[in-house]
Structure 1
Amino acid sequence: MSDWKQSFLESIQQGVVEGVVKALDSQSTTHGGTAPSKIKNDAIKLLRKTNSDTLYPLILQLCGHENPTAQEVGAICLTDFYRSQSSEVNRVLYRLADSDNWEVREWVASACGLVLEKHFHDYFPVMAEWSRDVSENIRRAVVLAMMYAGKSRNPEFIDPFLDILEPLLSDRSRYVRDNLGPFAIGNALIKYYPTQVLKRLDTWVNDEDEQVRWNIAMIFSAAEGAKFAHESQQVFDILSSDERPYVKKAVSKAIKNISKRTTGS
């Protein structure tokens, strides 16, 4: 066993959070400032194997620590306690989802996706509330959580997910929009639930809000979204008739991407 793992385990057993953080921090890179994903995932596995009454308090301390690696590892492990500690888990994930650190926000969005997948009926109302939050970080976390949970391909999920995402199509925040149409839907949900997503596009495209139409066009600028362009001719006809520069630019990008993948050039 590597030295950092040995120190990590000993600190867990002793319930010493600073020792846990020190072990993680010893693996941080100068480039990212945090430990590599492999190290964090190994740490998560070690924590999950721990059978101790002090584990939950220790994970809360990790989430509350100033060290970003500790927060990332803590957030993922915290999801294991959702059934018994839902209120506290919600509060902690909310706080971390609005972190100033972009990498922490990424890991927390993934944690939210885990909770959403495992505790859909309990957590979905939380996501609905977050989707209306004043913070763009929180709204963006909702978008990514649904993308991550959507990978399960659970047919029960998609219609409620699309219901929540629909109002966000008009969200003007760049941080939200860049992760919605071209990423969460275009590279994920349309792949996992093509029939349901394409059906929604037929409805959504009739909304004349230019941000909504931008998001729809940008779905097809993504690798997975481009595969469904031939099934969306009616959507493209409406988008292509929109003369507003913001929409036209998105449509042009989508067409270019579709053409590239069709011709292979």
Structure 2
Amino acid sequence: MAETKRKGARSAKDIPKAILEQLNAGKIETANLVEWLAVDQKILLKNLLEEKERISYLALVLEDIERLKKQTVNTINETIGKGLYKQALQGDDSRFLMEIVSHPSDLVRCWTTYYIASDENCTLEETLELIKPFAADSHFGVREISWLSVRKLISEDISQSIKILSEWTKSKDENVRRFASEATRPRGVWCEHIELLKQQPELGLPILEPMRSDKAKYVQDSIGNWLNDASKSQPKFVMELCERWCKESPCKETDYIIKKALRTIEKKA
């Protein structure tokens, strides 16, 4: 799907009414974070289910949302994705996934990642393979939600996850490579920490090593942030790794990663 060319409004109040209506109708993608946060997911859900002739799913998914202790963009996003999976499963509606997997709305595609991650009949490898197109999505929001949707599954089987994702580091697509790093960050953003990687960050080396001089800044930022996360619990590991990388990979890409990796350590110095 082509990247949107719209710049998007700088504040929610500046979003044109016609644009917001199209966003809530699922006709167009959000152009920036302001629009992403402004979409009314309940209205979008109703419009989606009317469009796909699944309006019977609406009431129970809305009930799931109402039961949330805290309604945020992310918690609603997750609840809708999981709720749609539950409704489709109960209705033996295997076609529904194929009808939303490439939807024009980025938020609907975000829901789809949680839908996929809800299927307990899939192995971890199968689930990650289904998530890969979303990791490569042209939209920033879908890429972020794609790793968030499977973060718990990754945390539950770090060894297998790293084995699978280490192969993703060979991808020609920088978004896929970045997913491998971002999804396994010891602390991460908007997510639970992975305690095992906080204490044993060396387990992540099969993902980190192949990308220590990655040409893409998007990947460099993620690797640097991964190591900065690790430095908060295992600073010695990060310092020794960066020292080795500095000797073995003397280039501007590695230098940039090292600078990001050591920022917390250097602040404390």
Shorter-chain TM-score category? 0.5 to 0.7
Alignment-derived partner of residue 41 in structure 1: 78
Flag the structure with higher helix content: 1
- Alignment partners' CA distance in 2, 1:160 and 1:142: 13
For 1:159, the equivalent position in structure 2 comes to 202
Deviation of the 1:158 alpha carbon = 2.5
Q: Indicate how the Cα distance of structure 1 residues 175 and 4 shifts in structure 2: closer, same or farther if over 3 A, else same.
A: closer
1:9-158 aligned within 5 A: 16=54, 36-44=73-81, 46-47=83-84, 52=90, 54=92, 58-59=96-97, 61-81=99-119, 84-86=122-124, 88-147=126-185, 151-155=193-197, 158=201
- What do residues 208-261 of structure 1 show as CA deviations (whole Å, max 9, x unaligned)? 42222321122233xxxx2x23xxxxxxxxxxxxxxxxxxxxxxxxxxxx3xx7
Q: Distance in 2 between matches of 1:15 and 1:148?
A: 42
Report the structure number with the largest CA radius of gyration: 1
Quote the RMSD (CA, aligned, Å): 3.9
**What's the offset of the Cα at 1:152?**
1.8
Structure 1 Cα separation of the partners of residues 177 and 56 of structure 2: 32
8 Å contact kept, 2:239–2:262? no
TM-score, length of structure 1 as denominator length: 0.63
Say whether the 8 Å CA contact 2:185–2:194 is kept in structure 1: no
Partners of 2:230 and 2:177 in 1: how far apart?
17
* Aligned residue type for 2:209: E
TM-score for both structures, normalised by structure 2 = 0.62
Percent identity reads 17
> 1:206 corresponds to which residue?
247
Distance 1:86 1:215 in 2: 29
Structure 2 distance, partners of 1:17, 1:189, is 46
- Structure 2 unaligned residues grouped into runs of 5+: 1-40, 63-71
SS of 1:81's equivalent in the other structure is: coil
Q: Tell me the matched-pair count.
A: 209
Pairing 1:197–2:238 present = yes
